[in-house]
């Protein structure tokens, strides 16, 4: 009993650090599933996002390559990355992603990502937008 308590007391600071640390966001485990659920239907093949902006999100390289107008991910800076700005609702309503309001090209077909998901994308970019 006493030994168990001691072990718990030793573990507590470690667990605390783990829980509070921002941890590294993983492209494969965190970002790719978001893209597959919410973006890929339009940003692949003949999807309307792929057609309208030439933006494919089928894998890491295409996500990083960006649109005809240039890159949309600036590693290290979410505020310079249009990929973040369009999901965080910091752009004109017509280009918010996924398109989710009346003014958008694809009227109301997308649901805005949750605050946690948007934050995850922001963190991933701030941490260098790695292919990890
Ligand atoms: C319902 C279809 C649809 C879905 C779902 C969708 N997009 Fe788009 N996306 C578009 C269209 C259409 C455009 C072109 C908008 C325009 O330029 O008018 C676009 C353009 C973009 C652009 C380029 C914006 C720019 O700088 O011109 C980015 C970045 C983008 N989408 C990211 C995303 C992300 C990230 C997701 C998932 C969270 C997503 N999209 C989901 C249809 C979609």
The string of DSSP letters for 35-88 reads HHHHTTTTSSTT-HHHHHH----SSHHHHHH-BTTB-S--TT-GGG-HHHHHHT
In the prediction, which pLDDT does 119 show?
A: 96
Which residue's CA lies nearest to atom 16 of ligand 1? 95
Domain that holds residue 43: 33-126
Please check whether residue 49 lies inside any domain of the structure: yes
Evaluate whether residue 21 is within a structural domain: no
d(CA 25, CA 40): 20
Distance 108 CA to ligand 1 centre (A): 13
Tell me if 112 is assigned to some domain.
yes
Q: How far is the CA of 16 from the centre of ligand 1 (A)?
A: 38
Instruction: Give the predicted TM-score (pTM) of the model.
Output: 0.84
Q: pLDDT tens digit string along 52-62?
A: 889 999 999 99
> From the CB of 43, is ligand 1 less than 6 Å away?
yes
Specify the number of domains making up the chain: 1
pLDDT given for residue 132 in this prediction = 97
Are 97 and 105 spatial neighbours (Cβ–Cβ below 8 Å)? no
pLDDT tens profile 64-116: 999 989 999 999 999 999 999 999 999 987 788 988 665 555 555 667 899 99
Report DSSP state, residue 12: H
């Amino acid at each position: 009993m006493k030994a168990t308590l001691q072990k718990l007391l030793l573990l507590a600071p470690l667990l605390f650090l783990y829980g509070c640390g921002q941890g590294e966001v993983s492209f494969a485990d965190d970002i790719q599933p978001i893209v597959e659920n919410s973006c890929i239907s339009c940003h692949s093949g003949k999807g309307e996002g792929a057609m309208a902006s030439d933006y494919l999100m089928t894998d890491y390289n295409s996500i990083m390559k960006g649109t005809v107008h240039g890159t949309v991910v600036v590693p290290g800076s979410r505020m310079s990355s249009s990929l973040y700005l369009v999901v965080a609702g910091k752009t004109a309503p017509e280009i918010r992603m996924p398109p989710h309001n009346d003014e958008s090209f694809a009227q109301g077909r997308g649901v805005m990502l949750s605050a946690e998901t948007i934050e995850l994308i922001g963190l991933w970019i701030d941490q260098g937008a790695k292919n990890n």
